[in-house]
Amino acid sequence: MAEGCCTPGSNIMILACSGASNVGQLTNQAAVELTQEGFGKMFCLAGIGAHLSGFVQSAKDVPQMVAIDGCPVACTKAILEHAQITVKGYVVLTEHGIEKNKNFKLKREEIEQVKAAVRAACNGQSEGAAVK
């Protein structure tokens, strides 16, 4: 993995869909806040999607990862699979009772709900383990 990618003591790569809906933006906001809190580090999903070799290799090498999709379209998961990267931890917001819409006024309680789901998906995750 690229040196300095993850915060010290927290080698969790966080990949958020950041899509054009409330749930996409919730994935992004949760990833930003978790990074700021020292729980892993947000990483560039676009670089992986563009098949930039350093980004793809970093994602393949990271010991812990969580992919966050807003909805069942599963863009984050599809990008990772297309780049032949094993999905190690996975969260879909609509499976956690958050309804997809175009309201970009994010609710604090939903951001906290997403952060809790991400933490739960990473709980006990070890290198090579799949958490869904």
DSSP 66: E
Q: Is residue 131 part of a domain?
A: no
* pLDDT, mean over the chain: 89
Q: Is residue 25 part of a domain?
A: yes
Give the total number of structural domains in the chain. Answer: 1
Q: Is residue 129 part of a domain?
A: no
pLDDT at 29: 98
DSSP 37: T
Greatest CA separation for the chain = 38
pLDDT at 124: 63
92 is in which domain, residue-wise?
12-122
Q: Is residue 3 part of a domain?
A: no
- What is the rounded distance in angstroms from the CA atom of residue 76 to the CA atom of residue 30? 15
- What is the rounded distance in angstroms from the CA atom of residue 111 to the CA atom of residue 103? 14
Looking at residues 101-105, what average pLDDT do you find? 97
Q: Is residue 85 part of a domain?
A: yes
Looking at residues 9-15, what average pLDDT do you find? 83
Looking at residues 115-128, what average pLDDT do you find? 78
Q: Is residue 7 part of a domain?
A: no
- What is the rounded distance in angstroms from the CA atom of residue 46 to the CA atom of residue 53? 12
Looking at residues 3-12, what average pLDDT do you find? 52
Q: Is residue 78 part of a domain?
A: yes
Counting every residue written for the chain, the total comes to 132
Q: Is residue 128 part of a domain?
A: no
pLDDT at 18: 96
Closest residue by Cα to residue 77 from 6, 16, 26, 2:
16
pLDDT tens string 28-37: 999 999 999 9
- What is the rounded distance in angstroms from the CA atom of residue 125 to the CA atom of residue 111? 22
Tokens representing 26 are: 């919730």
Looking at residues 72-87, what average pLDDT do you find? 97
pLDDT tens string 29-79: 999 999 999 999 999 999 999 999 999 999 999 999 999 999 999 999 999
SS3 68: strand
Question: Is residue 89 over pLDDT 80?
Answer: yes
